[in-house]
Structure 1
Amino acid sequence: MLEESQLNPAQLAKQRKVRRTIIELGLFKKRGLKKRTKRNLALSSLERKRINNVEYILGTKNGLMNQIFNRSVLILMDLKQREAWNENHKILTEIILKPEEHSRTIQLFLSQHALLHSSAIGNTGKLTLEDEVLANLDEKTFRNYPAATPDTKNSIAWHLWHIARIEDMTMNILIANDQQVLFTQSWYEKMNNDFSHSGNNMSEAEIAELSSRIDFHSLIAYREAVGRQTRQVLSLLKPGQFKLKVEQNRIKRLFDENAVTQNANWLTDYWSKKSIAGLILMPATRHNYLHLNKCIRIKDKFHKQIKNPL
Protein backbone atom coordinates (compact mmCIF):
# COMPACT_ATOMS: atom_id res chain seq x y z
CA MET A 1 0.00 0.00 0.00
CA LEU A 2 1.31 3.44 -0.92
CA GLU A 3 2.21 5.91 1.80
CA GLU A 4 -0.38 8.67 2.27
CA SER A 5 2.07 11.32 1.07
CA GLN A 6 2.16 9.56 -2.33
CA LEU A 7 -1.61 9.49 -2.82
CA ASN A 8 -3.88 11.95 -4.55
CA PRO A 9 -7.06 13.04 -2.67
CA ALA A 10 -9.24 10.34 -4.29
CA GLN A 11 -6.74 7.59 -3.51
CA LEU A 12 -6.30 8.91 0.02
CA ALA A 13 -10.06 8.82 0.59
CA LYS A 14 -10.20 5.25 -0.71
CA GLN A 15 -7.33 4.15 1.53
CA ARG A 16 -9.01 5.67 4.59
CA LYS A 17 -12.28 3.97 3.64
CA VAL A 18 -10.52 0.62 3.41
CA ARG A 19 -8.84 1.23 6.77
CA ARG A 20 -12.30 1.77 8.26
CA THR A 21 -13.50 -1.41 6.56
CA ILE A 22 -10.69 -3.42 8.12
CA ILE A 23 -11.61 -2.09 11.56
CA GLU A 24 -15.29 -2.86 10.98
CA LEU A 25 -14.48 -6.45 10.04
CA GLY A 26 -13.21 -6.88 13.55
CA LEU A 27 -16.85 -6.75 14.71
CA PHE A 28 -17.53 -10.12 13.11
CA LYS A 29 -17.34 -13.15 15.37
CA LYS A 30 -14.38 -15.19 14.21
CA ARG A 31 -16.05 -18.58 14.59
CA GLY A 32 -19.30 -17.58 12.93
CA LEU A 33 -17.55 -16.01 9.96
CA LYS A 34 -15.43 -19.10 9.44
CA LYS A 35 -18.52 -21.27 9.31
CA ARG A 36 -20.28 -19.00 6.86
CA THR A 37 -17.37 -18.97 4.43
CA LYS A 38 -18.31 -22.56 3.58
CA ARG A 39 -21.53 -21.20 2.14
CA ASN A 40 -20.75 -17.73 0.82
CA LEU A 41 -24.33 -17.01 -0.12
CA ALA A 42 -25.21 -16.77 3.57
CA LEU A 43 -23.11 -13.62 3.95
CA SER A 44 -25.15 -10.44 4.14
CA SER A 45 -24.77 -7.97 1.29
CA LEU A 46 -23.09 -5.48 3.66
CA GLU A 47 -20.58 -8.09 4.84
CA ARG A 48 -19.91 -9.13 1.26
CA LYS A 49 -19.37 -5.49 0.24
CA ARG A 50 -16.95 -4.91 3.12
CA ILE A 51 -15.00 -8.05 2.27
CA ASN A 52 -14.89 -7.14 -1.42
CA ASN A 53 -13.48 -3.72 -0.52
CA VAL A 54 -10.67 -5.34 1.43
CA GLU A 55 -10.05 -7.96 -1.31
CA TYR A 56 -9.73 -5.14 -3.83
CA ILE A 57 -7.16 -3.20 -1.87
CA LEU A 58 -5.16 -6.30 -0.91
CA GLY A 59 -5.26 -7.61 -4.48
CA THR A 60 -5.70 -11.23 -3.37
CA LYS A 61 -7.53 -13.87 -5.38
CA ASN A 62 -8.42 -15.76 -2.24
CA GLY A 63 -9.12 -12.51 -0.42
CA LEU A 64 -12.00 -13.77 1.70
CA MET A 65 -10.06 -16.49 3.51
CA ASN A 66 -6.94 -14.34 3.67
CA GLN A 67 -8.89 -11.46 5.19
CA ILE A 68 -10.49 -13.77 7.79
CA PHE A 69 -7.02 -14.82 8.84
CA ASN A 70 -5.63 -11.27 8.72
CA ARG A 71 -8.57 -9.89 10.71
CA SER A 72 -8.19 -12.50 13.44
CA VAL A 73 -4.52 -11.54 13.65
CA LEU A 74 -5.45 -7.85 13.88
CA ILE A 75 -7.90 -8.53 16.70
CA LEU A 76 -5.19 -10.28 18.67
CA MET A 77 -2.59 -7.67 17.76
CA ASP A 78 -4.70 -4.91 19.26
CA LEU A 79 -4.10 -6.31 22.73
CA LYS A 80 -0.72 -7.81 21.95
CA GLN A 81 0.59 -4.52 20.57
CA ARG A 82 -0.43 -2.71 23.74
CA GLU A 83 1.21 -5.35 25.94
CA ALA A 84 4.34 -5.31 23.80
CA TRP A 85 4.42 -1.50 23.79
CA ASN A 86 4.32 -1.36 27.59
CA GLU A 87 6.99 -4.03 27.93
CA ASN A 88 9.22 -2.27 25.41
CA HIS A 89 8.75 1.01 27.24
CA LYS A 90 10.10 -0.66 30.39
CA ILE A 91 13.11 -1.84 28.39
CA LEU A 92 13.60 1.64 26.94
CA THR A 93 13.56 3.06 30.47
CA GLU A 94 16.24 0.56 31.52
CA ILE A 95 18.66 1.20 28.65
CA ILE A 96 18.21 4.84 27.66
CA LEU A 97 20.90 6.21 30.01
CA LYS A 98 23.50 3.62 28.95
CA PRO A 99 25.78 5.06 26.22
CA GLU A 100 26.75 1.56 25.10
CA GLU A 101 23.05 0.91 24.34
CA HIS A 102 22.62 4.11 22.31
CA SER A 103 21.90 2.49 18.94
CA ARG A 104 19.47 0.05 20.49
CA THR A 105 17.78 2.90 22.35
CA ILE A 106 17.25 4.89 19.15
CA GLN A 107 15.84 1.91 17.28
CA LEU A 108 13.53 0.97 20.14
CA PHE A 109 12.32 4.53 20.47
CA LEU A 110 11.57 4.76 16.75
CA SER A 111 9.59 1.52 16.97
CA GLN A 112 7.64 2.70 20.02
CA HIS A 113 7.03 6.13 18.54
CA ALA A 114 5.79 4.70 15.24
CA LEU A 115 2.85 3.02 16.98
CA LEU A 116 1.72 6.40 18.36
CA HIS A 117 1.41 8.17 15.01
CA SER A 118 -0.06 7.48 11.59
CA SER A 119 1.13 4.19 10.08
CA ALA A 120 2.55 6.30 7.22
CA ILE A 121 5.24 7.68 9.56
CA GLY A 122 6.85 4.44 10.67
CA ASN A 123 6.11 2.64 7.40
CA THR A 124 5.83 -0.63 9.34
CA GLY A 125 2.63 -1.90 7.75
CA LYS A 126 1.05 -2.15 11.20
CA LEU A 127 -2.11 -0.44 12.37
CA THR A 128 -1.24 2.12 15.03
CA LEU A 129 -3.05 3.73 17.93
CA GLU A 130 -3.62 6.85 15.87
CA ASP A 131 -5.05 4.72 13.04
CA GLU A 132 -7.45 3.27 15.58
CA VAL A 133 -8.46 6.75 16.76
CA LEU A 134 -9.09 7.99 13.21
CA ALA A 135 -10.99 4.91 11.99
CA ASN A 136 -14.68 5.92 11.59
CA LEU A 137 -13.97 9.24 13.30
CA ASP A 138 -16.48 11.80 12.03
CA GLU A 139 -16.28 15.50 12.84
CA LYS A 140 -19.20 15.39 15.28
CA THR A 141 -17.39 12.81 17.39
CA PHE A 142 -14.07 14.62 16.94
CA ARG A 143 -15.53 17.90 18.25
CA ASN A 144 -17.91 16.54 20.89
CA TYR A 145 -17.45 18.44 24.15
CA PRO A 146 -17.86 17.71 26.97
CA ALA A 147 -17.09 14.03 26.51
CA ALA A 148 -18.93 11.73 28.89
CA THR A 149 -16.10 9.43 29.94
CA PRO A 150 -14.91 8.76 33.52
CA ASP A 151 -11.33 9.95 33.03
CA THR A 152 -11.80 12.99 30.77
CA LYS A 153 -14.46 15.33 29.48
CA ASN A 154 -12.20 17.03 26.94
CA SER A 155 -12.87 16.45 23.25
CA ILE A 156 -10.82 14.26 20.93
CA ALA A 157 -9.90 17.51 19.14
CA TRP A 158 -8.39 18.85 22.37
CA HIS A 159 -6.49 15.62 23.14
CA LEU A 160 -4.92 15.43 19.66
CA TRP A 161 -4.02 19.13 19.78
CA HIS A 162 -2.56 18.77 23.27
CA ILE A 163 -0.28 15.82 22.53
CA ALA A 164 0.88 17.37 19.26
CA ARG A 165 1.78 20.63 21.00
CA ILE A 166 3.51 18.91 23.94
CA GLU A 167 5.61 16.76 21.60
CA ASP A 168 6.43 19.72 19.35
CA MET A 169 7.64 22.05 22.11
CA THR A 170 9.55 19.47 24.15
CA MET A 171 11.37 17.91 21.21
CA ASN A 172 12.10 21.08 19.24
CA ILE A 173 12.63 23.67 21.99
CA LEU A 174 13.84 21.70 25.00
CA ILE A 175 15.89 19.07 23.18
CA ALA A 176 16.84 20.48 19.76
CA ASN A 177 16.69 24.21 20.65
CA ASP A 178 15.17 24.70 17.22
CA GLN A 179 12.00 26.15 15.70
CA GLN A 180 8.69 24.57 16.61
CA VAL A 181 6.92 22.73 13.78
CA LEU A 182 3.83 24.85 14.59
CA PHE A 183 5.47 27.90 13.03
CA THR A 184 6.62 26.17 9.85
CA GLN A 185 4.51 25.61 6.72
CA SER A 186 1.82 27.92 8.15
CA TRP A 187 0.40 25.19 10.42
CA TYR A 188 -0.77 27.75 12.97
CA GLU A 189 -2.86 29.55 10.34
CA LYS A 190 -4.06 26.37 8.61
CA MET A 191 -5.52 24.96 11.81
CA ASN A 192 -7.75 28.01 12.34
CA ASN A 193 -6.94 28.03 16.02
CA ASP A 194 -6.08 31.01 18.22
CA PHE A 195 -4.18 28.95 20.80
CA SER A 196 -0.48 28.23 20.49
CA HIS A 197 0.11 26.85 23.98
CA SER A 198 -0.09 23.28 25.28
CA GLY A 199 -3.76 23.37 26.26
CA ASN A 200 -3.05 22.89 29.96
CA ASN A 201 -5.19 24.89 32.38
CA MET A 202 -7.65 25.95 29.68
CA SER A 203 -11.10 27.10 30.72
CA GLU A 204 -14.20 25.21 29.62
CA ALA A 205 -15.04 28.06 27.23
CA GLU A 206 -11.57 27.86 25.66
CA ILE A 207 -11.77 24.09 25.23
CA ALA A 208 -15.19 24.47 23.63
CA GLU A 209 -13.83 27.13 21.26
CA LEU A 210 -10.84 25.02 20.25
CA SER A 211 -13.04 21.95 19.77
CA SER A 212 -15.47 23.77 17.50
CA ARG A 213 -12.99 25.77 15.42
CA ILE A 214 -9.83 23.75 14.82
CA ASP A 215 -9.50 22.33 11.31
CA PHE A 216 -9.64 18.55 11.52
CA HIS A 217 -7.45 17.65 8.53
CA SER A 218 -4.84 20.33 9.27
CA LEU A 219 -4.53 19.14 12.87
CA ILE A 220 -3.94 15.55 11.74
CA ALA A 221 -1.38 16.72 9.19
CA TYR A 222 0.33 18.95 11.78
CA ARG A 223 0.62 16.06 14.22
CA GLU A 224 2.17 13.93 11.47
CA ALA A 225 4.69 16.66 10.73
CA VAL A 226 5.55 16.84 14.44
CA GLY A 227 6.05 13.09 14.55
CA ARG A 228 8.39 13.11 11.56
CA GLN A 229 10.44 15.94 13.07
CA THR A 230 10.72 14.13 16.40
CA ARG A 231 12.18 11.08 14.68
CA GLN A 232 14.78 13.27 12.99
CA VAL A 233 15.68 15.05 16.24
CA LEU A 234 16.16 11.80 18.14
CA SER A 235 18.12 10.15 15.35
CA LEU A 236 20.70 12.94 15.53
CA LEU A 237 21.43 12.55 19.25
CA LYS A 238 24.87 11.25 20.21
CA PRO A 239 25.79 8.63 22.84
CA GLY A 240 25.65 10.17 26.31
CA GLN A 241 23.32 13.03 25.39
CA PHE A 242 20.28 11.37 26.96
CA LYS A 243 21.84 12.20 30.35
CA LEU A 244 21.94 15.94 29.68
CA LYS A 245 19.64 18.13 31.76
CA VAL A 246 17.16 20.54 30.21
CA GLU A 247 18.77 23.97 29.86
CA GLN A 248 17.01 26.81 31.66
CA ASN A 249 17.25 29.23 28.72
CA ARG A 250 15.12 26.75 26.77
CA ILE A 251 12.53 26.68 29.53
CA LYS A 252 12.37 30.48 29.16
CA ARG A 253 11.70 30.06 25.44
CA LEU A 254 8.50 28.17 26.26
CA PHE A 255 7.07 31.28 27.89
CA ASP A 256 8.54 33.68 25.33
CA GLU A 257 6.83 31.78 22.51
CA ASN A 258 3.60 31.26 24.47
CA ALA A 259 4.05 27.50 24.25
CA VAL A 260 3.19 27.36 27.96
CA THR A 261 1.07 29.92 29.80
CA GLN A 262 2.07 31.46 33.12
CA ASN A 263 -0.72 29.66 34.96
CA ALA A 264 0.73 26.34 33.78
CA ASN A 265 4.21 26.99 35.18
CA TRP A 266 3.94 23.76 37.17
CA LEU A 267 4.54 22.05 33.83
CA THR A 268 7.79 23.87 33.15
CA ASP A 269 8.89 23.26 36.75
CA TYR A 270 8.40 19.55 36.08
CA TRP A 271 10.30 19.60 32.78
CA SER A 272 13.14 21.72 34.18
CA LYS A 273 14.06 18.85 36.50
CA LYS A 274 14.20 16.31 33.69
CA SER A 275 17.00 15.00 31.51
CA ILE A 276 16.56 14.49 27.78
CA ALA A 277 15.85 10.86 28.62
CA GLY A 278 12.96 11.95 30.84
CA LEU A 279 11.43 13.95 27.99
CA ILE A 280 11.72 10.97 25.67
CA LEU A 281 10.09 8.61 28.14
CA MET A 282 7.07 10.86 28.77
CA PRO A 283 6.20 13.70 26.33
CA ALA A 284 7.38 11.81 23.22
CA THR A 285 6.00 8.39 24.13
CA ARG A 286 4.00 7.58 27.27
CA HIS A 287 2.11 10.88 27.19
CA ASN A 288 0.94 10.20 23.62
CA TYR A 289 0.01 6.63 24.52
CA LEU A 290 -2.21 7.70 27.43
CA HIS A 291 -4.07 10.39 25.49
CA LEU A 292 -4.62 8.28 22.37
CA ASN A 293 -6.21 5.59 24.52
CA LYS A 294 -8.47 8.26 26.00
CA CYS A 295 -9.46 9.29 22.47
CA ILE A 296 -10.40 5.71 21.63
CA ARG A 297 -12.57 5.44 24.73
CA ILE A 298 -14.28 8.77 23.95
CA LYS A 299 -15.02 7.68 20.39
CA ASP A 300 -16.31 4.24 21.37
CA LYS A 301 -18.60 5.63 24.06
CA PHE A 302 -19.97 8.40 21.84
CA HIS A 303 -20.73 5.94 19.03
CA LYS A 304 -22.48 3.61 21.47
CA GLN A 305 -24.61 6.50 22.73
CA ILE A 306 -25.68 7.30 19.17
CA LYS A 307 -26.60 3.69 18.46
CA ASN A 308 -28.35 3.18 21.79
CA PRO A 309 -29.87 6.51 22.90
CA LEU A 310 -31.66 6.59 26.25
Structure 2
Amino acid sequence: MKGCIDLSSADVLVDGFDRIREEVRAVVDGLSEDQLAWRADEAANSIAWLVWHLSRVQDDHIAGVAGHEQVWTADGWAERFGLPFELDETGYGASADDVAAVRADADLLVAYHEAVHQKTVGYVKTVTDDDLAVVVDENWNPPVTLGVRLVSVISDDLQHVGQAAFVRGLLTRR
Protein backbone atom coordinates (compact mmCIF):
# COMPACT_ATOMS: atom_id res chain seq x y z
CA MET A 1 0.00 0.00 0.00
CA LYS A 2 1.38 3.38 -1.03
CA GLY A 3 2.54 5.58 1.84
CA CYS A 4 2.51 2.81 4.46
CA ILE A 5 5.16 2.70 7.13
CA ASP A 6 6.12 -0.72 8.46
CA LEU A 7 5.37 -0.54 12.20
CA SER A 8 5.33 -3.42 14.61
CA SER A 9 3.10 -3.61 17.67
CA ALA A 10 6.22 -2.98 19.74
CA ASP A 11 6.86 0.24 17.80
CA VAL A 12 3.36 1.48 18.59
CA LEU A 13 3.75 0.62 22.28
CA VAL A 14 7.12 2.36 22.45
CA ASP A 15 5.50 5.44 20.92
CA GLY A 16 2.85 5.37 23.64
CA PHE A 17 5.46 5.20 26.40
CA ASP A 18 7.50 7.94 24.67
CA ARG A 19 4.45 10.22 24.79
CA ILE A 20 4.12 9.69 28.54
CA ARG A 21 7.80 10.56 28.95
CA GLU A 22 7.40 13.78 26.96
CA GLU A 23 4.39 14.85 29.02
CA VAL A 24 6.10 14.07 32.33
CA ARG A 25 8.98 16.32 31.37
CA ALA A 26 6.65 19.11 30.26
CA VAL A 27 4.38 19.02 33.31
CA VAL A 28 7.19 19.47 35.84
CA ASP A 29 9.32 21.85 33.77
CA GLY A 30 10.24 25.03 35.61
CA LEU A 31 8.29 24.25 38.79
CA SER A 32 9.80 24.43 42.27
CA GLU A 33 9.49 21.66 44.82
CA ASP A 34 6.80 23.69 46.63
CA GLN A 35 4.85 24.16 43.41
CA LEU A 36 5.12 20.45 42.61
CA ALA A 37 3.72 19.67 46.09
CA TRP A 38 0.85 22.20 45.80
CA ARG A 39 -2.66 20.77 46.06
CA ALA A 40 -5.92 22.47 45.15
CA ASP A 41 -7.24 21.40 48.54
CA GLU A 42 -6.07 19.12 51.34
CA ALA A 43 -7.59 16.01 49.75
CA ALA A 44 -6.33 16.67 46.19
CA ASN A 45 -3.35 15.14 44.43
CA SER A 46 -0.19 17.15 43.76
CA ILE A 47 1.85 17.12 40.57
CA ALA A 48 4.70 15.47 42.48
CA TRP A 49 2.45 12.68 43.74
CA LEU A 50 0.85 12.13 40.32
CA VAL A 51 4.21 11.88 38.54
CA TRP A 52 5.69 9.68 41.27
CA HIS A 53 2.60 7.44 41.23
CA LEU A 54 2.43 7.01 37.45
CA SER A 55 6.14 6.20 37.40
CA ARG A 56 5.77 3.71 40.26
CA VAL A 57 2.84 1.97 38.56
CA GLN A 58 4.74 1.72 35.29
CA ASP A 59 7.82 0.43 37.10
CA ASP A 60 5.79 -2.14 39.07
CA HIS A 61 3.70 -3.42 36.18
CA ILE A 62 6.51 -3.61 33.63
CA ALA A 63 8.82 -5.35 36.09
CA GLY A 64 6.03 -7.81 36.79
CA VAL A 65 5.55 -8.83 33.16
CA ALA A 66 9.23 -8.58 32.19
CA GLY A 67 10.40 -10.61 35.18
CA HIS A 68 12.96 -8.11 36.41
CA GLU A 69 13.35 -6.16 39.64
CA GLN A 70 11.78 -2.72 39.76
CA VAL A 71 14.21 0.15 39.22
CA TRP A 72 12.71 1.68 42.38
CA THR A 73 14.61 -0.86 44.47
CA ALA A 74 17.27 -2.12 42.06
CA ASP A 75 18.71 1.32 41.32
CA GLY A 76 18.25 3.02 44.70
CA TRP A 77 15.37 5.33 43.84
CA ALA A 78 13.51 4.45 47.05
CA GLU A 79 16.44 5.77 49.06
CA ARG A 80 16.79 8.90 46.91
CA PHE A 81 13.13 9.79 47.41
CA GLY A 82 13.21 8.89 51.11
CA LEU A 83 9.44 8.45 51.36
CA PRO A 84 7.82 7.00 54.49
CA PHE A 85 6.30 4.07 52.56
CA GLU A 86 6.90 0.36 52.22
CA LEU A 87 9.22 -0.45 49.30
CA ASP A 88 6.42 -1.98 47.25
CA GLU A 89 4.12 1.07 47.59
CA THR A 90 2.87 2.44 44.28
CA GLY A 91 0.26 4.88 45.54
CA TYR A 92 -2.93 2.91 44.92
CA GLY A 93 -5.42 3.84 47.61
CA ALA A 94 -3.17 6.59 48.98
CA SER A 95 -4.53 8.76 51.76
CA ALA A 96 -4.34 12.55 51.74
CA ASP A 97 -1.43 12.27 54.19
CA ASP A 98 0.37 9.86 51.84
CA VAL A 99 -0.08 12.31 48.95
CA ALA A 100 1.28 15.15 51.10
CA ALA A 101 4.34 13.06 51.97
CA VAL A 102 5.50 12.93 48.34
CA ARG A 103 7.82 15.90 47.96
CA ALA A 104 10.49 15.93 45.28
CA ASP A 105 12.07 18.37 42.90
CA ALA A 106 11.52 18.21 39.16
CA ASP A 107 14.96 16.75 38.48
CA LEU A 108 14.37 13.79 40.80
CA LEU A 109 10.89 13.10 39.40
CA VAL A 110 12.13 13.25 35.81
CA ALA A 111 15.24 11.17 36.54
CA TYR A 112 13.19 8.38 38.13
CA HIS A 113 10.65 8.44 35.33
CA GLU A 114 13.50 8.40 32.79
CA ALA A 115 15.00 5.30 34.45
CA VAL A 116 11.60 3.59 34.39
CA HIS A 117 11.07 4.66 30.78
CA GLN A 118 14.42 3.24 29.67
CA LYS A 119 13.69 -0.10 31.36
CA THR A 120 10.17 -0.13 29.88
CA VAL A 121 11.27 0.62 26.33
CA GLY A 122 14.10 -1.89 26.56
CA TYR A 123 11.55 -4.56 27.43
CA VAL A 124 8.76 -3.46 25.07
CA LYS A 125 11.13 -3.49 22.07
CA THR A 126 11.51 -7.26 22.63
CA VAL A 127 7.76 -7.95 22.63
CA THR A 128 6.39 -9.78 19.61
CA ASP A 129 2.82 -9.87 18.35
CA ASP A 130 2.52 -13.44 19.66
CA ASP A 131 3.68 -12.28 23.11
CA LEU A 132 0.80 -9.83 23.34
CA ALA A 133 -1.73 -12.68 23.55
CA VAL A 134 0.01 -14.39 26.49
CA VAL A 135 -2.03 -14.29 29.71
CA VAL A 136 -0.06 -12.48 32.42
CA ASP A 137 -2.73 -12.20 35.14
CA GLU A 138 -5.46 -14.74 35.79
CA ASN A 139 -6.94 -12.75 38.72
CA TRP A 140 -9.38 -11.02 36.36
CA ASN A 141 -12.29 -12.21 34.26
CA PRO A 142 -11.36 -12.31 31.48
CA PRO A 143 -7.70 -12.97 32.27
CA VAL A 144 -5.33 -10.14 31.38
CA THR A 145 -2.99 -10.58 28.42
CA LEU A 146 0.35 -8.85 28.02
CA GLY A 147 -1.13 -6.58 25.37
CA VAL A 148 -3.97 -5.52 27.63
CA ARG A 149 -1.59 -4.94 30.55
CA LEU A 150 0.73 -2.74 28.48
CA VAL A 151 -2.15 -0.68 27.07
CA SER A 152 -3.58 -0.39 30.58
CA VAL A 153 -0.30 1.07 31.85
CA ILE A 154 -0.19 3.56 28.97
CA SER A 155 -3.81 4.55 29.60
CA ASP A 156 -3.35 4.94 33.36
CA ASP A 157 -0.14 6.93 32.95
CA LEU A 158 -1.64 9.26 30.33
CA GLN A 159 -4.63 9.90 32.60
CA HIS A 160 -2.37 10.75 35.52
CA VAL A 161 -0.04 13.01 33.54
CA GLY A 162 -3.15 14.74 32.18
CA GLN A 163 -4.36 15.24 35.74
CA ALA A 164 -0.93 16.68 36.61
CA ALA A 165 -1.22 19.09 33.67
CA PHE A 166 -4.64 20.17 34.96
CA VAL A 167 -3.18 20.77 38.44
CA ARG A 168 -0.35 22.75 36.84
CA GLY A 169 -2.95 24.88 35.09
CA LEU A 170 -4.76 25.54 38.37
CA LEU A 171 -1.47 26.34 40.09
CA THR A 172 -0.17 28.74 37.46
CA ARG A 173 -3.51 30.54 37.11
CA ARG A 174 -4.03 31.16 40.83
Query: Is TM (by shorter chain) over 0.5?
Result: yes
Which residue number in structure 1 is paired with residue 3 of structure 2? none
Q: Which has the larger radius of gyration?
A: 1
The alignment yields a C-alpha RMSD, in angstroms, of 2.3
Which residue number in structure 1 is paired with residue 152 of structure 2? 282
How is 1:181-220 mapped onto 2 (pairs within 5 angstroms)?
181-195=71-85, 196=87, 197-210=89-102, 212=103, 214=104, 216-220=106-110
Identity of aligned residues (%): 19
When normalised by structure 1's length, the TM-score is 0.49
How is 1:250-265 mapped onto 2 (pairs within 5 angstroms)?
none
Measure how far apart 1:246 and its partner are: 1.2
Q: 1:182 to 1:272 in 2, by over 3 A?
A: farther
Q: Name the CA distance, whole Å, in 2 between partners of 1:161 and 1:236.
A: 26
Measure how far apart 1:215 and its partner are: 5.3
Equivalent residues, number:
166
Measure how far apart 1:280 and its partner are: 1.1
Asked if structure 1 preserves the Cα contact closer than 8 Å seen for 2:33 and 2:105, the reply is no
Which residue number in structure 1 is paired with residue 27 of structure 2? 133
Q: Name the CA distance, whole Å, in 1 between partners of 2:141 and 2:124.
A: 18
When normalised by structure 2's length, the TM-score is 0.85
Give 1:201's aligned amino acid.
G
- Give CA-to-partner distance per residue, 1:96-119, whole Å, 9 cap, x none: xxxxx9x521111212221110xx
Higher helix fraction: Structure 1 or Structure 2? 1
Measure how far apart 1:194 and its partner are: 2.6
Higher relative contact order at CA 8 Å, sep ≥6: structure 1 or structure 2?
2
Asked if structure 2 preserves the Cα contact closer than 8 Å seen for 1:165 and 1:198, the reply is yes
2:143 maps to 1:273: yes
2:119 maps to 1:229: yes
Asked if structure 1 preserves the Cα contact closer than 8 Å seen for 2:9 and 2:128, the reply is no
2:34 maps to 1:165: no
Q: Name the CA distance, whole Å, in 2 between partners of 1:201 and 1:140.
A: 23
Out of 12, 23, 35, the residue aligned to residue 108 of structure 1 is: 12
- Give CA-to-partner distance per residue, 1:116-157, whole Å, 9 cap, x none: 10xxxxxxxxxx322320233222220113x25xxx811111
Which residue number in structure 1 is paired with residue 133 of structure 2? 243
Asked if structure 1 preserves the Cα contact closer than 8 Å seen for 2:32 and 2:105, the reply is no
Q: Name the CA distance, whole Å, in 1 between partners of 2:17 and 2:133.
A: 20
Measure how far apart 1:202 and its partner are: 1.6
Q: 1:272 to 1:185 in 2, by over 3 A?
A: farther
Asked if structure 1 preserves the Cα contact closer than 8 Å seen for 2:55 and 2:113, the reply is yes
Q: SS at 2:25's partner residue?
A: helix
Asked if structure 2 preserves the Cα contact closer than 8 Å seen for 1:246 and 1:271, the reply is no
- Give CA-to-partner distance per residue, 1:207-231, whole Å, 9 cap, x none: 2122x4x454323211110011000
Asked if structure 1 preserves the Cα contact closer than 8 Å seen for 2:60 and 2:70, the reply is yes
Asked if structure 1 preserves the Cα contact closer than 8 Å seen for 2:28 and 2:36, the reply is no
Measure how far apart 1:270 and its partner are: 5.1
